[in-house]
Amino acid sequence: MRGLAAAVSALVLLGLVVFMAGKRSGAEPPLHEAATNAGGNRPVMASVKEVMQSIVDPSADVLWGAVGTVVDRENGIQDLRPNTPEEWSNVRNAAVRILEGGNLLAVHGRDVAPPGTKSETPGVELEPAEIAALIDQDRSTFDGFAKALQGLGAEALMAVDAQKTDALMDIGTRMDGVCESCHEAFWYPYVSGYRSSGRSPAP
């Protein structure tokens, strides 16, 4: 029995050594490579549309609504700004999501929209396949918008930590410009005039 116990202990120790060696050598695949779909063919990634709807858009709304001026008949002119620690924390979390949202949008290989998605405004907004083709042909421009969004998120994070409401208002204005410019370039480029109809974007 002692011999059997010793053998089992040796096997457990050997397994532990092998496991730790794999950890040190980086043998385990990165998380995004380990998480694959049911077919095991590619990493599971949300589409650009889903990243925008679930992360970027609601976070941008928090930043846009955090500071400003509201004119109302009953209360007159009101200046909006975070006041409590909880309100500042909410804005800070939104800034972090904007920063990381830019990183997520820059991941290559991400679908534009879930399978079966159709344009909600045909004739104005391109179909997902058309948007994907434009992004593939003009990837540097798309990545530039994603990087700009990431930079604005980082700026917003610093502004929140310093509780600089004027800076947050300026960042919100510039973020609106980045978002709209990206939409004009890829979502409705021919209606906006960003691209001439039938012309392929520069490589």
pLDDT score at 41: 58
Q: Give 138-172 pLDDT, tens digit per residue.
A: 999 999 999 999 999 999 999 999 999 999 999 99
Average pLDDT of the chain, as a whole number: 82
Task: Determine the Cα–Cα distance for residues 26 and 38; give it in Å rounded to an integer.
Answer: 25
49 three-state secondary structure: helix
Residues 87 and 56 both lie in one domain: yes
Q: Which domain holds residue 105?
A: 46-192
What domain count does the chain have?
2
Q: Are residues 76 and 60 in the same domain?
A: yes
Write down the number of H helices and E strands in the chain: 9, 2
Q: Rounded to a whole number, what is the largest CA-CA distance in the chain? A: 88
DSSP H helical segments within the chain, as ranges?
Answer: 2-25, 31-34, 48-51, 57-66, 85-105, 128-137, 139-161, 165-186, 189-192
Is residue 197 assigned to a domain? no
Looking at the fold, whether 165 and 187 belong to one and the same domain comes out as yes
Q: Is residue 201 part of a domain?
A: no
- The tokens for 108 are 């290559």
pLDDT in tens, 53-75: 999 999 999 999 999 877 777 77
- Per DSSP, the three-state class of 152 is helix
Instruction: Answer for the pair 119, 126: CB distance below 8 angstroms, yes or no.
Output: yes
The model carries a pTM of 0.74
Does the CA dihedral 146-149-154-155 come out positive or negative?
Answer: positive
Question: Using CA atoms, how far apart are residues 196 and 194, in angstroms rounded to an integer?
Answer: 7
Q: Which region among 15-29, 79-93, 152-166 has the lowest average model confidence (pLDDT)?
A: 15-29
